[in-house]
Structure 1
Amino acid sequence: MRRSTYSSASYAAFRPSYPPALFNRVLAFHNANNNRPPNSGTLVDLGCGHGLIARALAPSFASVIALDPSAGMVEQARKLTTDQPRITIRHGSAEDLLSFIPGGHGSVDCVVAGQAAHWFDFTKVWPALARAVSQHGTLAFWGYKDHVVVGQPALGPIFDRFVYGREEPVPETESMARFWEQPGREILRGSYSQIVPPDADWEAVTRITWDPDPETGAGNLGDAPEGALWQRKTLKLGELESYVRTFSAFSGWQQAYPGRKSRKDGGEGDVVDLLFDEVVATVPEWKAKGEQGWRDIEVDTVWGTVILMARRR
């Protein structure tokens, strides 16, 4: 579950969005061997965040129920989701799914979770899904992790030291490593291999995974399986910095070191400031742009991805 101090507005502003190709892949799986009329049925979006997925998929269903355990995320989703009568946004968890389904058991046609399934307690979620999802209904869980700046292999070890390193990345500054909420982060980094749909209830289980190679600056782009390379963005370095500040681990780091203010907030610099000091210093052309100019430099950024889909027996 997300930390209570998590910035819902920053998450909405700086997290990468999902491309149409991802949604098309999920819908193609859902519609295969499915005799339901187009734009019918009920979709449930678990861990809906600011409502991006619910809004994108709403035209393909008659109704959408979007749940999130964070009151801040629910508030943000409602602000961003206007004039969408098909979508109902509720404050609730995946584990309590059955409490939010007005049609009763077997009334849900599709369940999705983007960047959320690694937080679920599947001892409760699998039984709830088995009761909620109709025969031949589908689920689709997806996530992204550990970005790589394409063509810049020297940056991989820097990000790793500051984000996951056990030692201080620079003197008197702790990394973000111990602040990742576990086991969720490792489940995501493991491409959801620990999330296994029970065979008694689910069939046609499909996994599409890919990890960019940080040692070559994602030199393995050409090896990505079809449908796996869906999280690739051109970002300004300043946007990448803002994205890193949405990490739950950074939120935890801030709570542990409240006196370490960012330079933007008038302090001497926090762990993200120091991280990007090293990132910028690694590329002479970036460093030459100066303290403000480097933030406008655009970089090709790609993330490791996973999609897990299954069909209800």
Structure 2
Amino acid sequence: MRGLTVLMVLAASLVATSPRAALAQQPPAAILGVEITMNQPEASIGDRVLLTLRIRHRSDVAVTATPEAPLDVEFGKQNVTTLALPDGVVQTTVTWTVQPFVLGPVGLRAFPVAWVTQDGRTGRFLVQPPRFVVQPVRTADDVLLRPLKDPVAVPGGPPAWLRPALYSLAAVASLALVATLLWFLVRQVRVLLGRRHGGPIMAPIPVVITAESSARESLDDLAGIRLTDSNAFEQYYGTIAFVVRRYLSDRIGFNAHALTTDELERRMTANGVDRWQARLVGGLLERCDSAVYAHRFPDPASADHDLTVAYEIVELSRPGAPLIGVLPRGATA
């Protein structure tokens, strides 16, 4: 059974105090519990403090959060793990390594956590990290200069032959680069001479346009549209529906433009697409039809989310798409 696959994009940055858990904004029904902690209340300049966010949710929900680091605080790459609990829920744990480079109390701003379900419902809520204090390593009246410590000898250093071998490898790579440039120049000279003397001209290498690149390029054009009137909404949602149907026709191998939304869901399922992915496509196309034909227009934030869902449909349907997101109960990572 394939794992649940969902991608989301969110950001907002923050800092907090005290290692006790900081409470989040009241989470929605899909989220069963939220806890965010720091592993230590005090640190020094450059120390690594571990920020941990634990979210308990239903097994059909995926969550994500990406804080934006302030100028004086550095965030390391996030680490995400999921755990199926005995009571049938899933716990997603996200950790960041935080390095402060400013003295005094450090408080990160609350940042959003986004969630999405298999049937395309989404939402977000805020979590507030705890505060912590960065202590100076010397007293305020300590102004004396001290000599640097002797370099620390690290055992198990690289062998003596490694440096000459790296130099030799760099020389070989440089020679290969020079040979490639010379070959390219000779080839270009031959082409120019062939044109001057009426000889055959080498045809340029065609650029391969895939279904994914074509769909993404069409969706990228929608990013600059301002949804200020009905014509803009109709163009926006009409383009999303056309691009999604064209992409599914190219990728799965049937004429998606000739099918209704219900027929398209059944045809996708019959062609081996997961049922919840087919429902995700059907839900998006129904919202597109509602905007284009019934003139029921959502708010701009929901319209931006629908564009994100269209990107995710392209990502989920491409060959060899990685299985990421929340694993169902009983599955293994």
Normalised by the size of structure 1, how large is the TM-score?
0.27
Normalised by the size of structure 2, how large is the TM-score?
0.26
- Structure holding more helix per residue: 1
